[in-house]
Structure 1
Amino acid sequence: MNSTLVLRKLRQKRSNLIWITVFFLLLGASIAALYYAAAQIDYVWRWYRIPRYFYYQEDIEIKAELGGEVAAIALQGDTVSITVKGDGEEKTYTAPTRNATVSEGDLIFVGDTLASYKTWKVGILLIGLWITIKVSLISILFGILIGILTGLSRISSNPALKWSAITYIELIRGSPLLVQIFIWYFVLGTLINTLLVKQQVGITIPPLWFGVAALAFFAGAYVAEIVRAGIQSIHRGQTEAARSLGMNYFQTMTHVILPQAMRRILPPLAGQFISLIKDSSLLGIIAIRELTKATREVVTTSLQPFELWFMCALLYLVLTFSLSMCVQVLERRTLA
């Protein structure tokens, strides 16, 4: 019996090794085919340029705004102060460097460089990645809140709450997200900001928040159905037992039903939120520089579509995979 089991395990390991080898061979063949196809169109791969779109050094030049003569150059630690005297005027420029490009007594014209230094700056891809993360997290939080409230209203015995929830869910699920983003930005955004201007509030809502609202309400409709299905999957006996112990509706939902339903709705919730991260790429159409729009801008200026779009896809994969791992950890703790 033991020898048969050992033999079976050895065969299983050998089979797994063969199929793992097949997987890596297919992966290598796909990469080789891609490089071969790129070579046929004379495409030059420039992966070494990618890091500059995440973090780079920029040359900053301090230019004269006043024509005249360099009256004084003073060194103070790691900074330099350059004083320029013109027609009855005097102006001092300070730079975080000890290297000035002018000397005392030099004649200066407007626009001449007085000093230059290098500084590290965040690249456009990192900015786009941060905006994608921020928009996605805020939308997920509001989507959960909207979804739970709407899901509870969906199974409520109150006709007003139930019909309102059904109307909201069907309207959101029955129209494309792209159309909803347009409505939030061009219709509701214009109306709200116009009212704010007419009321002389002094502020207007930026496009980012209309994009967040569109994503949150879109996700909320799907989360509501997930919550409804999770709650209704719990046997009615659980509710009856809680009510027999003297719990009211809120206590029953909080302490009995929702904790059990959460174990069942976590996997579909993870799938919905992963889709939400990818759907955030649509916000580029309303001038929000998220990851996809940032990548498109860099492709336009650098003419490196292959490397940049592969990098964009890899960054989205990192975000979605990280979220998936977090949900799996949360799911294991919930089941423990």
Structure 2
Amino acid sequence: MSRTSKRHWPWHLLTIAILAVTALIFWYATVSTAYKWDWNNISNYFYYNKEVILETAPSDVEVTSIDQQGQKTIITLVDYETNEEFKITAVAEQIKVLKGQELTEGDTITSTTKWTAGPFVKGFWTTLWLSVVSGILGLVIGLIAGLCRISKNPTLRDLSTIYVELIRALPLLVIIFIIYYFFGTILKLSHETAAIVSLSFSAGAYIAEIVRGGIQSISKGQTEAARSLGMGAASTMCVIILPQAFRRILPALTGQFINLVKDTSLLSAISIIEITRAAQLATTTSMKPFEMWFCAAALYLLINIPLSILAHYLERRLAKSD
């Protein structure tokens, strides 16, 4: 064991003790509220066996016979009023009626089951793809706005500054409502489109500042050297400056994407079923608020912890290379 490790192990023990005390406080809080934890059937909110109805009664009928013919079964139905006879071919395992049973119109005769994604899986997928699409668009918007922020053209500089400061001054929820209710009504935007536009423009404003800071961190001497070699402003920016700037801002961009994933939780306000909305719906039907919100927290961690690890890894790599 190294000397540094020997000095640090008491602090690690203190960390464990603090975590243990925190867990004890949490346990006492749940006991004092007399809450009964119940994790049964929680898996149904991730994946469940859904009944798929294959055949229903065409009218008020009686099941007069169920005949096995090889691998198939013939179900005979007779209408009460017209005495019309109906025959249905089905697999024995799919039959949900008995001989002599009376059925009303719409009653299930045969059905099967299939594994179907529950609200948490659907919400996880919605959160993931909305974050990816909004992140890509936000990166494009942020790159353009960041370049405009350092442009020599006063109009581009002013417009980009107004955009960045306006977005940063407004809560994201207000932006979502404005785009969904105002622009969404005028342009007939879907829930998902309004969500992507809101997240993209919000993320773009913060990414613009990250890009601007990254570009300005590059020595001006490199720009002057490129110009002395006959390179134009555009080629200098694309070939010399931006590659170095992006290398420096990668950890910050990763952190911004983590924030973007968490920001998707606000989309429940416009009825998009992402992770938070899925937890709300699951809580309503199951009456298990603690379990459902812990499941939601676990899904967010499943996305964000790998991103956080990636951000720390990039920071260490860049620190070594510098």
Q: Which category of TM-score, normalised to the shorter sequence, fits these structures?
A: 0.7 to 0.9
What is the percent sequence identity of the aligned residues?
43
Structure-to-structure mapping, 1:1-336, within 5 angstroms: 10-61=2-53, 62-70=55-63, 82=75, 84-86=77-79, 87=82, 98-102=93-97, 107-193=102-188, 205-328=189-312
User: In the superposition, relative to structure 1, how do residues 14 and 171 fare at CA in structure 2: closer, same or farther (>3 Å)?
Assistant: same
CA drift at 1:59 = 3.9
Aligned partner of residue 48 in structure 1, secondary structure = coil
Aligned partner of residue 177 in structure 2, secondary structure = helix
CA drift at 1:302 = 1.5
Contact 1:96-1:117 within 8 A present in 2 as well? no
Structure 2 alignment gaps of length 5 or more: none
Residues 4-26 of structure 1: CA deviation (Å, up to 9, x unaligned) = xxxxx544333433332332232
Distance (whole Å) between structure 2 residues aligned to residue 78 and residue 155 of structure 1: 75
CA drift at 1:222 = 0.7
Distance (whole Å) between structure 2 residues aligned to residue 215 and residue 282 of structure 1: 10
Q: CA RMSD in A?
A: 2.8
User: In the superposition, relative to structure 1, how do residues 18 and 331 fare at CA in structure 2: closer, same or farther (>3 Å)?
Assistant: closer
Contact 1:59-1:116 within 8 A present in 2 as well? yes
User: In the superposition, relative to structure 1, how do residues 329 and 36 fare at CA in structure 2: closer, same or farther (>3 Å)?
Assistant: closer
Contact 2:149-2:212 within 8 A present in 1 as well? yes
Contact 2:251-2:314 within 8 A present in 1 as well? no
Distance (whole Å) between structure 2 residues aligned to residue 96 and residue 144 of structure 1: 54
Contact 1:75-1:98 within 8 A present in 2 as well? no
Residues 51-109 of structure 1: CA deviation (Å, up to 9, x unaligned) = 22111223445532323344776879987664645337666667676342335676543
Structure 1 alignment gaps of length 5 or more: 1-8, 194-204
CA drift at 1:259 = 1.0
Counterpart amino acid of residue 38 in structure 1: T
Distance (whole Å) between structure 1 residues aligned to residue 138 and residue 282 of structure 2: 31
Aligned partner of residue 280 in structure 1, secondary structure = helix
TM-score (norm 2): 0.87
CA drift at 1:226 = 0.8
Contact 1:263-1:331 within 8 A present in 2 as well? no
User: In the superposition, relative to structure 1, how do residues 26 and 89 fare at CA in structure 2: closer, same or farther (>3 Å)?
Assistant: farther
Distance (whole Å) between structure 2 residues aligned to residue 30 and residue 50 of structure 1: 26
**Pairs aligned (count):** 317
User: In the superposition, relative to structure 1, how do residues 304 and 126 fare at CA in structure 2: closer, same or farther (>3 Å)?
Assistant: same
Residues 115-145 of structure 1: CA deviation (Å, up to 9, x unaligned) = 3433211111111111111111111000000
